[in-house]
Amino acid sequence: MKVTWEGDGRGGSGWEGLSARVGRCRLPVWDCTAGLVAGEDAALLIDAGSSVREGAWLRARARRFLGGGRVTHLALTHPHFDHVFGAAAFADAEVFGAAGIERVLGDEGEELRADAVRNGADPDRAADAAGLLVRPRHLVTHEYALDLGGGLRALLADVGPGHTGHDLAVLVSGDGPAIVFCGDLVEESGEPQAGPDAAPGHWPAALDRLLALGGEDALYVPGHGAVVDAAFVRAQRDALARRFDVP
């Protein structure tokens, strides 16, 4: 599948190409990253945005760049509203998440709706997204491999807890350098955020698992911010260990 990436991926202006068949965009408002992996037989979206509107925008843009094809698989890196509320636009996709995410999403989305409103989301749009919340059908307990066709592979790995109790990373290989989508285990545009559902004592170990997954030469895609390298992830790991007094 030939894909032409356009733009720098910032502010919803287009997709930033990370390799010939892997791209990402940075959505406006919360600067949340969504990734797109275009295989010959299937297409994987990583995270779905903060609202039904953002999810619909991602669906339309993905279809354009897939030459009319659709997103067949969706991986949710963790259960925060800015990453999952757009999933309603992908109800026909196979949806994946780390085991345990179903419990967080099982309260009809009320906690996520309230969190979205606290962070400035429009209350009506947040309520709509919560009411249409899509829950993963496939729960990853360790690792799950997807063959997307044309030699392109995605390994979904439950690497948490850390930023939340249920953090999923995605390693993409078979198209240039290894690319790791980190969710909010790694953030570049600001300090990593540790909310009430974080597991600070386990977060550095989660980053160690990310580094083991991708290796020294991989590209690491944060949940928010610019693409980074292994040295950045390691420095953030050490900073979190100092912050939370973890060896």
CA-to-CA dists, residue 164 to 168, 178, 184, 202, 227, angstroms: 10, 24, 9, 10, 21
Alpha helix ranges (H) inside 85-202? 101-104, 110-118, 123-131
Over the chain, what is the mean pLDDT? 92
Residue pLDDT, tens place only, 99-155: 999 988 876 678 889 999 999 999 999 998 888 888 899 999 999 999 999 999 999
Which pLDDT score is estimated for 12? 56
**146-175: average pLDDT:** 97
Look at residues 154, 170, 183 and name the one whose alpha carbon lies nearest to residue 41. Answer: 154
The pLDDT value given to residue 1:
47
Strand order in the sheet with 94-98: 16-17, 22-26, 33-38, 43-46, 73-75, 94-98, 138-140
- Per-residue pLDDT averaged across 33-48, rounded? 97
What is the token pair recorded at 171?
């390693």
CA torsion 152→12→216→21, rounded to 10°? 20
Q: Report which of residues 11 and 106 the model is more confident about.
A: 106
What 3-state DSSP class applies to 89?
Answer: helix
Signed CA dihedral, 178, 32, 191, 107: sign only: negative
pLDDT at residue 48, as a whole number? 97
Whole-number Å distance between alpha carbons of 178 and 41: 20
State pLDDT tens for residues 51-65.
999 999 999 999 988
Confidence at residue 3, expressed as pLDDT on a 0 to 100 scale: 58
pLDDT of residue 202: 97
More confident residue, 133 or 187: 187
